[in-house]
Amino acid sequence: MAESTLDKARETQMRNIESKTGKSLAELRSIVASTGLTRHGEIRDRLKADFGLGHGDANALTHFALASDGQSAAEASAASPEDVLSGIYAGPKAALRPIHDAFIAAIAPFGSYEVAPKKGYVSLRRKKQFAMIGPAGKDKVELGLNMKDVPATDRLVAQPPGGMCQYKVRLTGPNEVDAELVAWAKRAFDSAG
């Protein structure tokens, strides 16, 4: 399979960044991690100041270091899905991991699906995304569900049209992964088909 033009351009840009900085991508990712910075803009600005990179190169390197673009996120997930989840549920968000694990265990009987890590959450896909799950602050997990024609409730909150999910549910404990939530998730799973 031929490599896409976009992939080639990205690869060239990353090689140029290595040349400009005199550091490998692994070294640069490690340097970014050692700063303790987590916000994209702060990291980008730091890379511009420390290495004299232009905005575009600093932005691309920040996405690479954070694995926040689709390709870098895929590379991060190839290393280990557990590492990606550990990064998402780190620090003050670590206490939320049991909610995530309870949801994943509850939907396991549905069948196979793809887990696509993103920055700060994971997308769950069949032919299309049926759910996304990740921390929404340090005290709750947000579960987005893609399904249609389900009456909204206080718990199942309808989202404005055009968003990534039609509904969202906020979870504060693993016990909230109950029969009602699993039924909604099954409906979203089946409709993603």
139-159: average pLDDT: 94
Q: What is the pLDDT of residue 3?
A: 44
Whether this prediction's pTM lies above 0.85 is answered by: no
Residue type, 20: K
Do 162 and 89 sit in the same domain of this protein? Answer: yes
Do 115 and 169 sit in the same domain of this protein? Answer: yes
Confidence of residue 25 (pLDDT cuts 50, 70, 90): confident
Is 16 or 184 the better-scoring residue by pLDDT? 184
Q: What is the pLDDT of residue 4?
A: 52
CA dihedral 116, 93, 67, 160 (to 10 degrees): 60
Sheet with 114-117, side-by-side order of all strands? 114-117, 122-125, 129-135, 141-145, 167-171, 157-158
The pLDDT tens digits of the residues spanning 10-22 come to: 778 888 888 889 9
Q: Domain span at residue 187?
A: 82-191
Q: What is the pLDDT of residue 85?
A: 79
* 7 contacts: CB under 8 Å, gap ≥ 6: 71
163-183: average pLDDT: 94
* 23 contacts: CB under 8 Å, gap ≥ 6: 31
Do 91 and 122 sit in the same domain of this protein? Answer: yes
Do 16 and 45 sit in the same domain of this protein? Answer: yes
Examine the pLDDT at 143 and tell me if it is beyond 50. yes
Examine the pLDDT at 168 and tell me if it is beyond 90. yes
